[in-house]
């Protein structure tokens, strides 16, 4: 393994400054993704700055207005078990419980979770097959290689990878915000704009710059929050990343959909909102299966499957439909 030094941060301003000035420095929280990437020789940081000692970043706060503030250093297991998270936004708790394993969730932080990198096998391959995300330039091995687990939306010829986080799908559906401290102060990034599509720069997963520290994720109060559900399809029941997943949150009035939020995982380089379907579902009867199916299909007209993942187009629509139905039953 590449040699590196490790130090501990105690002050956020100093940590941000060090990150901005030292290109070889990487923040480490739980280390559950970072260390794996180093072992796979996908990244070679020279200096790890342990941020676990930074103050006021581990709390889980139920806000008086019905919203939620989750510190970036809160552990996945703590957030999943939090009574107010479960009550206000079951979709968040469920997306966390279906992610990774118990041991990993005890260690893994929320900030690290939304920063985790793709599980594309070429990206994590020690043999250094061409991968534009790993080292920009040589091409994308998955484009004409094995691409069963890859994107059907928003990909480019330079990268067809999907984003692996489950809870990111829930946050995207709920229009959460990522609170970031950077060199020029604090800013709030809408969750749906936090992760990027690959375009010609797939090495960049998100919009963060050097010197940016995620402090918290904020979820505004949502009328759809309580009637929400996360459905994840994976190759095995024990811990596994999503083949396809859906986060649904809905408000129902007299059996009809008053408002709905739908996002999908496993289909794109970022959590994928089904905005066209959300609009088409407005006013639909929850029991009217044909109308629900037709509305969801409106978000799939621009799906572009690859050679091995055509099945995802139909599967994703079924997963979205089922997630919506279960969320609706909770309303
Ligand atoms: C076997 C296995 C199975 C898994 N299965 C799933 C799954 O099914 N679903 C799922 O969603 N996840 C899954 N994961 C991923 C796991 O959830 C992540 O590894 C974990 O959430 C990362 O958090 P961490 O604190 O360990 O991050 P680290 O590994 O410490 O850091 C990850 C990245 O985030 C950056 N970072 C961390 N905190 C901050 C911050 N506050 N500000 C800025 N940058 C920061 C680090 O610099 C690093 O680049 C799995 C992981 C493993 C190993
Ligand atoms: S899909 Fe992206 S991550 Fe995978 S090989 Fe292609 S460039 Fe690399």
Residue nearest (by alpha carbon) to ligand 2 atom 2: 159
* Structure-derived torsion over alpha carbons of residues 89, 324, 262, 84, reported in degrees to the nearest 10: 0
**Ligand 1 pocket member 260 (CB < 6 A):** no
Two structure tokens written together for 167: 């809870």
**Tens of each residue's pLDDT in the chain, 331 residues:** 789 999 999 999 999 999 999 999 999 999 999 999 999 999 999 999 999 999 899 999 999 999 999 999 999 999 999 999 999 999 999 999 999 999 999 999 999 999 999 999 999 998 889 999 999 999 999 999 999 999 999 999 999 999 999 999 999 999 999 999 999 999 999 999 999 999 999 999 999 999 999 999 999 999 999 999 999 999 998 889 999 999 999 999 999 999 999 999 999 999 999 999 999 999 999 999 999 999 999 999 999 999 999 999 999 999 999 999 999 999 9
- Give me the pLDDT at residue 170, please: 98
- Give me the pLDDT at residue 277, please: 98
Ligand nearest to the CA of 47: 1
Q: Which atom of ligand 2 is nearest to the CA of 143?
A: 6
Tens-digit pLDDT profile for residues 223-260? 999 999 999 999 998 889 999 999 999 999 999 999 99
**Ligand 2 pocket member 217 (CB < 6 A):** no
- Give me the pLDDT at residue 239, please: 87
Q: Which atom of ligand 1 is nearest to the CA of 95?
A: 11
**Ligand 2 pocket member 32 (CB < 6 A):** no
- Residue 149 vs residues 46, 112, 157: alpha-carbon distances, Å: 32, 22, 16
Ligand nearest to the CA of 194: 1
Question: How remote is the CA of residue 150 from the centroid of ligand 2, in Å?
Answer: 9
CA distance 141 to 143: 6
**Ligand 2 pocket member 118 (CB < 6 A):** yes
Nearest in space to 224 (alpha carbons), one of 72, 318, 92, 60: 92
**Ligand 1 pocket member 32 (CB < 6 A):** yes
Q: Is the dihedral of CA 170, 174, 175, 178 positive or negative?
A: negative
């Amino acid at each position: 393994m590449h040699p590196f030094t490790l130090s501990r941060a105690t002050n956020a301003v100093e940590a941000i400054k060090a990150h901005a000035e030292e290109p070889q420095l990487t923040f480490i929280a739980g280390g559950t993704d970072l260390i794996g990437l180093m072992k796979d020789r996908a990244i070679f940081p020279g200096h790890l700055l342990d941020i676990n000692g930074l103050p006021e970043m581990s709390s889980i706060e139920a806000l008086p207005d019905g919203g939620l503030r989750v510190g970036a250093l809160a552990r996945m297991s703590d957030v999943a078990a939090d009574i107010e998270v479960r009550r206000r936004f079951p979709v968040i708790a469920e997306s966390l419980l279906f992610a990774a394993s118990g041991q990993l969730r005890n260690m893994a932080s929320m900030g690290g979770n939304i920063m985790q990198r793709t599980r594309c096998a070429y990206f994590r391959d020690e043999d250094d097959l061409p991968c534009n995300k790993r080292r920009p330039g040589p091409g994308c091995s998955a484009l004409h290689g094995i691409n069963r687990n890859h994107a059907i939306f928003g990909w480019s010829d330079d990268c067809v990878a999907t984003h692996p986080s489950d809870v990111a799908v829930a946050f995207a559906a709920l229009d959460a915000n990522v609170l970031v401290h950077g060199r020029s102060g604090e800013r709030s990034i809408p969750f749906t704009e936090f992760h990027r599509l690959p375009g010609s720069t797939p090495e960049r997963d998100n919009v963060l710059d050097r010197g940016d520290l995620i402090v918290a994720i904020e979820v505004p109060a949502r009328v759809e929050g309580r009637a929400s559900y996360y459905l994840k399809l994976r190759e095995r029941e024990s811990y596994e990343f999503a083949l396809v997943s859906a986060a649904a949150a809905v408000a129902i009035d007299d059996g009809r959909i008053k408002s709905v939020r739908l996002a999908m995982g496993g289909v794109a380089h970022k959590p994928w909102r089904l905005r066209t379907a959300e609009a088409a579902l407005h006013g639909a009867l929850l029991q009217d299966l044909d109308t629900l199916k037709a509305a969801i299909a409106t978000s799939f007209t621009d799906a572009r499957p690859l050679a091995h993942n055509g099945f995802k187009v139909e599967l994703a629509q079924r997963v979205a439909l089922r997630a919506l139905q279960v969320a609706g039953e909770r309303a």
